[in-house]
Chains A and B, each alone.
Chain A
Amino acid sequence: MDFTLTTDQSALMSALDRLAKPFESKPIDFHGFALAGNGLERELTEGEYFDIAQIPELGPLTAAMAVERLAWLPCTVDTALSMLVRPQLPGDWPRPIAVVENGRPGRFVATAKTVILIDGDQASLAQVGPEDVEPVESLFAYPMGRLKRRPAATALSAEDAAKVRGWLRVALAAEASGLLQAAIASAGEHLSVRKQFGRPLGSFQALRHRMAECTVLAGGVRWLALKAAATGDEADAALAALHAQESATRIAYDLHQMLGAMGMTLEHPLHLWTYRLKALVSELGGRGGQALAVARHAFDA
Chain B
Amino acid sequence: MDFQWDAEQQSFRDTVRSFLAANLPPDWEQQAHGPGSESQSAFSKKFCAALAQAGLLVPHWPRRWGGRDADAWTAFILAEEMWAAGEPRGGQYMNVNWIGPVLMRFGSEAQQDRYIPAIARGETIWCQGFSEPEAGSDLASLRTRAEKDGGHYRINGQKIWTSYAGHADTCFLLARTAPGKTGMSVFLVPMDTPGITVRQIPSVIGEGDIHEVFFDDVRVPESALLGAEGQAWEIARAALSLERVGIPRFALASRMLRRAVERLKQEGRYGHGAVEQSARAHAACEAARLYSYQIVDQRRHGTPTGPEASAARYATVMCERLVGEFVVEHLPDALSGGDPLLLAHHQRAIVAGIASGAAEIQLNLIATELLQLPREPR
Q: Which B residues lie within 8 Å of A202 (CB)?
A: 367, 371, 373-374
Within 8 A of A (CB), among B228-276: 258, 261-262, 265, 270, 275-276
In the complex, which residues of chain A have a beta carbon less than 8 angstroms from the beta carbon of B311? 215-216, 219
Count chain A CB atoms within 10 A of each CB in B282, B298, B308, B311 and give the residue with the most. B282
Which single member of B9, B270, B291, B370 contacts A1 (CB below 8 Å)?
B9
Binds A, one of B86-94, B147-155, B342-350, B358-366: B358-366
Q: Is A191 an interface residue (CB 8 A)?
A: yes
Whether B288 is near chain A, meaning CB under 8 Å from some CB there, is yes
Complex alpha-carbon distance, A4 and B1, angstroms: 5
- How far, in angstroms, from A196 to B97 measured CA to CA in the complex? 45
Q: Which of B4, B73, B287, B363 has the most CB of A within 10 A?
A: B287
* A299:B265 contact, CB within 8 angstroms: yes
In the complex, the answer to whether A200 meets B288 with C-beta atoms within 8 Å is: no
Contact in complex: A216, B366 (CB < 8 Å) = yes
One of B280, B362, B372 near A192 (C-beta < 8 A): B372
The B287-344 residues at the A interface (CB cut-off 8 A) are 287-288, 290-291, 293-294, 297-298, 301, 308, 311, 314-315, 318
B283 interface contact, C-beta 8 A:
yes
Residues in B whose Cβ lies below 8 Å from that of A9: 1
Give the docked Cα–Cα distance between A202 and B370 (Å). 13
Q: Could you say which residues of chain A place their CB within 8 Å of the CB of B261?
A: 299, 301
- C-alpha gap A3/B300 in the complex (Å): 10
A216, chain B: closest CB distance, angstroms:
5
Q: Quick one: which of A209, A231, A294, A300 contacts B360, CB cutoff 8 A? A: A209
Q: By the criterion CB–CB under 8 Å, are B1 and A212 in contact? A: no
A292 within 8 A of B: yes
Cβ contact within 8 Å between A216 and B318 = yes
Separation of A209 and B365 alpha carbons in the complex (Å): 10
- Given known pairs A294-B279, A299-B265, the reply for A188 and B286 (CB within 8 Å) is no
Q: Which residue of A lies closest to B9 (CB)?
A: A1
Contact B4 A208 (CB under 8 A): no
Give the contacting residue for A220; candidates B297, B315, B360; CB below 8 A: B315
Is there an interface contact between A3 and B270, defined as CB atoms closer than 8 Å? no
CA distance A230 to B1 in the complex (A): 9
* Complex contacts, A292 vs chain B, CB 8 Å: 275-276, 279
The answer to whether A5 touches B364 (Cβ under 8 A) is no
A interface: dominant SS? helix
Q: Is residue B278 within 8 Å, beta carbon to beta carbon, of the partner chain?
A: yes
Q: Which of A3, A227, A230, A291 contacts B297 (CB 8 A)?
A: A3
Q: Are B275 and A301 in contact (CB under 8 A)?
A: yes
Nearest residue (CB) in B for A240 is B283
Contact between chains at A224 and B270 (CB < 8 Å): no
* A215–B371 CB distance below 8 A: yes
Decide yes or no whether A48 CB sits under 8 A from chain B: no
Contacts of B376 in A (CB 8 A): 203-205, 208
> Which residues of A pack against B, CB within 8 Å?
1-6, 9, 61, 184, 188, 191-192, 199-200, 202-205, 208-209, 211-213, 215-216, 219-221, 223-224, 226-227, 230-231, 239, 242-243, 246, 287-288, 290-292, 294-295, 298-301
What 4 A-B pairs come out closest when comparing CB atoms?
A220-B287, A223-B290, A202-B373, A291-B279
Residue contacts A-B, CB under 8 angstroms, 25 given = A1-B9, A2-B297, A3-B294, A188-B371, A192-B374, A199-B377, A202-B374, A204-B376, A205-B376, A208-B364, A209-B363, A209-B364, A209-B367, A211-B371, A212-B371, A216-B314, A219-B291, A220-B283, A223-B287, A223-B291, A226-B1, A230-B3, A231-B4, A239-B282, A292-B275
A202-B371, A203-B374, A212-B370 given; name 17 further pairs at CB < 8 Å: A1-B3, A1-B4, A1-B6, A1-B73, A1-B297, A61-B1, A184-B371, A192-B372, A202-B374, A208-B373, A212-B364, A212-B371, A221-B287, A224-B286, A239-B283, A242-B280, A301-B270
